[in-house]
Chains A and B, each alone.
Chain A
């Protein structure tokens, strides 16, 4: 009896393996990838302007006076001919106009009927000298930025962005997506809409305007002033040394989750909580129809 069962199992096992392999094969598709790669080098310039779509952008500062740019334009489709045809519609600009280095990718169809069938993507790897003024606009892609800037301006739509180890003033505008700001030395100005925003290790001054966002702020040891003006947002401050800051928290039609020690009052769905009013370093948070939490 036992032998019969083992024999049956031996017969069934290869069939199961075959079925699994078939299932895996059906759940995958081989895409033909056509990549156009462009390398350019410029002399130092005052400004760098990047206007990208569906792009992965990596920007860093290096010890050189040159600006080095590598752009990859990629088309993916099961048919290589279609990928190649669609890649021709993905155009780029990498030129110097006066004091500006302009990098851009865009779609240009020759006829209205020409529809792009491939998955198109652009990739930028940019190395620049420090202390330049940089502006980046990207949609449906990724942004990784690090280094020292005179001014850094980043605007994202549906992007995942990581701004790490930045020295210089930062102006950030986000629409959807996930954004991480980590170790920023400089004034920060953020306008965020429906974005999951995480901020770690910031100093100086930070102003945030948020709508429908999820804000998580932690480790702000040298911060002088934090102002958050939010609507319908979920705001969480984690591990903030309470004794170092004057807190003023306001919430309308929402929830305030605060540790003990705060003086608080509630009137007609209007909540106010305060702590250490006389300290110089201040945290002011206003929110409505959302949750504001201060966690240890």
Chain B
């Protein structure tokens, strides 16, 4: 109903309507009509239908929640940026601390594992099994360490540890190959 277009009648039409309403016959007829008073409930229902409550998408409660949220994020960002700084510099790193091709002894490990797939008799020997288990542990340690060292290492301690593990691996590989 609220969406219908509105038109204003001309003064002449209003005058004609008024004249017709004041005619005697009509006035008498109106006076003789019976009168009914609708109950309060009916009025309430009419009022409710005439003024439907608009759906509120935005209430003060939600506005307050949103404001607190934005404020918290803002303060947090402000606090973090106050206690946080980023600086830039340069470092000349020795390539000796980077991983070398020679650090890769995976091929030796793979060779022993491949051999054990074929020659199960030797590999099932308890002493050989113990060595194989030690080698697997060291292999995993070596892989973990290499991942941590990465491409641009600057920590001598990590390379020293890798060297020690690789030496231990070599020692075990020597013992294993002696038993093959």
Contacts and interface: CB of A to CB of B under 8 A. Distances in A.
Contact of A31 (B91, B148, B165): B91
B90 to A, nearest CB: 6
Given A36-B85, A177-B161, A140 B95 contact: no
B90 A37 contact: no
Contact of A139 (B83, B85, B148): B148
The contact size tier of chain B is: 20 to 34
Chain A interface mostly: strand
Contacts of B154: 31, 76, 119
Given A34-B88, A119-B153, A27 B158 contact: no
Contacts of B161: 158, 176-177
B120 interface: no
B87 interface: yes
Interface string B164-175: 010000000000
B80 to A, nearest CB: 8
A40 interface: yes
B148 A54 contact: yes
Nearest to A139: B148
B84 interface: yes
A38 B94 contact: no
B134 to A, nearest CB: 8
Interface in B131-162: 141, 144-145, 148, 150-155, 157-158, 161
B10 interface: no
A29 B151 contact: no
A140 B151 contact: no
Interface in B83-105: 83-96, 98
Contact of B87 (A35, A39, A160, A178): A35
A219 interface: no
A239 interface: no
Interface string B63-97: 00000000000000000000111111111111110
A30 interface: yes
A187 interface: no
Contact of B83 (A38, A77, A120, A158): A38
Contacts of B152: 29, 31, 76-78, 118-119
Interface in A61-103: 76-78, 80, 87
A26 B94 CA distance: 9
A119 B149 CA distance: 8
B93 A28 contact: yes
A277 interface: no
Interface in A1-49: 26-40
A140 B96 CA distance: 18
Nearest to B150: A119
**5 shortest A-B CB distances, which residue pairs?**
A140-B148, A119-B152, A33-B89, A31-B91, A35-B87
6 contacts: A28-B93, A30-B92, A31-B93, A31-B152, A35-B89, A117-B151
Given A29-B92, A76-B152, A120-B150, 20 more contacts: A30-B90, A31-B90, A33-B88, A34-B86, A34-B87, A35-B86, A36-B84, A37-B84, A38-B83, A39-B83, A39-B84, A40-B83, A76-B91, A76-B93, A80-B88, A116-B150, A117-B151, A118-B150, A119-B153, A177-B161
Interface of A: 26-40, 54, 76-78, 80, 87, 116-121, 139-140, 142, 157-158, 160, 176-178, 194
